[in-house]
Amino acid sequence: MKFTIKLLLIFSIITSCDNSSKNPDITIVDKSIDSIIDSEAKIEILVDSLLVSEGPLWDMLNNSLIFTDVAQNKIFKWNSEDGVNEYIKPSGYTGYSPAFKDGLSGANGAAFDGTGNLILCQHGDRRLVAVKNEKTENPNFITLVDNYEGKKFNSPNDLAINSSGDIYFTDPPYGFFNLATQTFNNKYKELDFNGVYKLNNKGELSLISKEVSIPNGIALSLDEKYIYVNNSDGESPVIMKFDLSNNSGELFFDGTELSKIYEGGFDGLKVHSSGNIFSTGPNGILIISPSGKLLGTINFGGGVTNCNFDSNEEYLYVTAFSYVARIKLKTVNKQFAFDQNKPIIEIEASCGLCMFNIEGDECFLAIRHEGKSFPIDGTGIDDHGDAHSNNGFCNAIRKAEVQGELVNGIYLVNYFKLSGIIPKG
């Protein structure tokens, strides 16, 4: 009862919220997201005339957005110079597994592995595969996994890869969906559940949960201790949170009340470097704090399938059924002059004064690499949210990717991207 009352209060805040900008595309529920959300930003349509666009993924090296169309069995690439072009076809159905080739048979979720290959969730072929990130009409798919205990997967849907190369993915039955009749046909279904899985970096598969009725989008928390899993079941529109130390699950966010008012369900989701979760859901994109509090919404009106950030978190890219869009964010990560010919190194970033014991008069941003710490120039401690929050630089050590050079004891960065949090202790 208390949880229902809380949700009703949240709904009343959304519906009565008086945005000073009067911007219909953005609703601010909690001012704490002012540092990452531009209340004046507008939704910008980039591509239309699609069928079921999904799997948005930013290709930093080529400054392009990669996305799938599940119904067309193709992967597309978009950038501001060339527009949209076919990139990889077929994407998810080659006849490898029994499937309905005229249904939702293409690739869905996509991610990069540590070597730059694309890792795809294939609906039609019912497997996880690796493929080179290059334009082709004859892709060489390398199977990573295609069954659980000898039974074919349903239709792997979305995935998240941690810093060790372990892959977490969902396996709902959408590959069995008949577009013409709008119903599921279980003719080829071998498993009697829809699972959430882990494929570790040694190729060993384990089941995390089979209790989510229609698991869909999946994302890792910044510290990689938890996964968030969206449930696309209209009877149970929720986000679940799983503790990866023991695979125990708990309710993270309940969208039942919102679903009664707005169109759109829980599909894909991603975690911002601030720790906030950007999830598809009722009315578009929900922005949710790590504690499960609704902070704001981006009002697409429903019918969106997934989202992702570019490497600098300057834009949020959103796929829908028929279109791809983006909306500008307030930049937290900084990218000045990325040079694809120079290496990116993984480092630790934190407050030099509070966490790395570097002498100074006030808090400043520093990095630590191979046991050595240096102040950095090119981005500052206040460019990445509240430094004194629980996960801020003065209280936590963050993982980051940087590119730059050491000059006179100061590391000059031309690229800086935060990722996870280093566990304390």
Is 364 in the same domain as 393? yes
Kindly report the CATH number assigned to the domain that includes residue 349.
2.40.50
pTM beyond 0.85: the answer is no
Same structural domain, 403 and 300: no
Q: Within this chain, do residues 297 and 375 fall inside the same structural domain, yes or no?
A: no
Number of structural domains in the chain: 2
Q: What is the pLDDT of residue 148?
A: 98
Q: Which residue has the higher pLDDT, 384 or 59?
A: 59
Do both 339 and 268 map to the same domain? Answer: no
Give the residue-averaged pLDDT of 377-395.
84
Whole-angstrom distance, CA of residue 211 vs CA of residue 178: 24
61 in helix, strand or coil?
A: coil
Q: Which of 332, 356, 383 is the last residue of a domain?
A: 332
pLDDT value of position 8: 46
End residue of a domain, out of 332, 367, 384: 332
Domain holding 314: CATH number? Answer: 2.120.10.30
In which band, very low, low, confident or very high, does the pLDDT at 331 lie, cut at 50, 70 and 90?
Answer: confident
**Is 23 in the same domain as 153?**
yes
Instruction: Indicate if 393 and 296 belong to the same structural domain.
Output: no
Q: Would you give the DSSP letter of residue 16?
A: H
pLDDT of residue 138: 98
Question: Left (φ > 0), alpha (ψ -120 to 50) or beta: where does 412 sit?
Answer: beta
On whether both 224 and 360 belong to a single domain, the answer is no
Helix (H, G, I), strand (E, B) or coil at 313: coil
**Quick one: tokens of 384?**
């990445």
Tell me the CA distances in angstroms from 194 to 126, 221, 314, one per residue in order: 13, 22, 35
What's the pLDDT tens digit per position in 263-301?
A: 999 999 999 988 899 999 999 999 999 999 999 999 999
Residues 8, 99 within the same domain: yes
Per-residue pLDDT of 107-145, as tens digits, reads 999 999 988 899 999 999 999 999 999 999 999 999 999
Alpha-carbon distance 278 to 286, whole Å? 6
Q: Residues 159, 306: one domain?
A: yes
Same domain, 94 and 18: yes
The pLDDT of residue 359 is 83
Task: Give per-residue pLDDT as tens, 14-65.
Answer: 544 545 458 999 999 999 899 899 999 999 999 999 999 999 999 987 889 9
Segments forming the whole domain that contains residue 389: 335-422
Residues 279 and 344 occupy one common structural domain: no
Q: Contact at 8 Å (CB) between 101 and 128?
A: no
Same domain? 210 vs 342: no
Handedness of CA 401, 130, 205, 271 (dihedral sign): positive
Question: Burial, 418: exposed, middle or buried (Cβ in 10 Å; 0-12, 13-18, 19+)?
Answer: buried
Domain finish residue from 332, 353, 379:
332
Q: Compute the distance between CA of residue 212 and CA of residue 271 in angstroms, rounded to an integer.
A: 20
